[in-house]
């Protein structure tokens, strides 16, 4: 099973509803019947890290800047530093996750 490590920033003044983004992401992946396990357990080894930052400052990116391995970062109204609409974030994440899953299986 492909495992995604989910990390939330502290959520002090978010531009987006972080939990709704993750809820919609989970539902979207479930609809596609994608075999993905999303976990917040920091002790587990993961294939991909998903950082949910509430704003562009993206506090989590500093914490994981040294990490060796794939990362997708939501930075408020940006994903991987590309401006996005809040409602589009779950679909963008699904596309990115599917791409990463397919490249890791090759």
Partner 1 sequence: MNGKEYIESLRGLNREVYFLGRKIKNVVDEPMFQPHIHTAAMTYELAHEPEYQEIMTAVSHVTGERINRFTHIHHSIDDLVKKVRMMRLLGQKTGTCFQRCVGLDGLNAVYVTSYDIDQKYGTDYHERFRDYLLQVQENDWMPSGAMTDARGDRSRRPSMQQHPDAYLHIKERLDDGIIVSGMKAHITGAVNSHEILVMPTRTMSEEDADFALSFALPADTEGVSYIFSRQTNDTRRLDGVLDGGNPKYGIVGGEAVIVFKDVFVPWERVFMAGEYDFTTELVETFAGYHRSNYGGCKVGLADVVIGGSNWIAEAHGVERSSHIVDKLTDMIAMAETCWSCTLACSYEGHKTPSGAYNIHPLLANVTKLNITRMVYEWMRLAQDIAGGKIITLPSEKDLENPEIRETLFECFAGKQGFSPLDIIRMLRLIENMSVGAGLPEAMHGAGSPAAQKIMIARRSGIEKKMELAKTVAGINRDDYFERIIGKDETTHWNEVKKKLRGRETEIY
- Angle at alpha carbon of residue 39, lines to 38 and 40, rounded to 5°: 135
Nearest to partner 1 of 55, 98 (CB atom): 55
Place of tokens 């709704």: 20
The distance of closest approach from Cβ of residue 17 to partner 1 in the complex, given in angstroms and rounded to an integer, is 8
Place of tokens 């999303």: 38
Nearest to partner 1 of 9, 36 (CB atom): 9
Q: Contact positions toward partner 1, by CB under 8 A?
A: 13-15, 55-58, 61, 75, 81-83
Nearest to partner 1 of 69, 83 (CB atom): 83
């Amino acid at each position: 099973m492909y495992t995604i490590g989910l990390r939330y920033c502290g959520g002090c003044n978010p531009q987006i509803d972080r939990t709704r983004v993750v809820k919609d992401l989970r539902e979207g992946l479930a609809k596609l019947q994608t075999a993905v396990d999303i976990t917040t357990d920091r002790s587990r080894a993961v294939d991909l890290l998903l950082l949910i930052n509430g704003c562009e400052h993206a506090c989590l990116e500093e914490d994981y800047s040294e990490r060796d391995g794939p990362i997708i970062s939501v930075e408020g109204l940006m994903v991987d530093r590309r401006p996005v609409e809040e409602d589009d974030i779950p679909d963008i994440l699904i596309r990115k996750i599917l791409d990463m899953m397919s490249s890791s299986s090759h």
